[in-house]
Amino acid sequence: MAALIFKLIKSNQSKNSESLDKNDSLKILKIRFAKGEINEQEFQKMKKAIHG
């Protein structure tokens, strides 16, 4: 029983971490676009890659 609870907690933590990673990646992508480091086409392509 304890092993099952541990597994559920770990699974939930990894999902939260994955969500944070996507948010951080998107934030960085938006900053790069705003700075002019990438164009709109590159922005859209990378945004699509982040969200799967």
Instruction: Compute the Cα dihedral for 4, 5, 8, 14 and give only its sign.
Output: negative
Q: What is the pLDDT of residues 17-52, one digit of tens each?
A: 556 677 899 999 999 999 999 999 999 999 999 887
- pLDDT in the model for residue 23: 86
Model confidence, pTM:
0.61
> What are the structure tokens assigned to 28, written together?
């960085």
Q: Which CB contacts under 8 angstroms, 24+ apart, belong to 16-25? A: 22/50, 22/51, 25/50
pLDDT at 7 over 90: no
Higher per-residue pLDDT: 47 or 10: 47
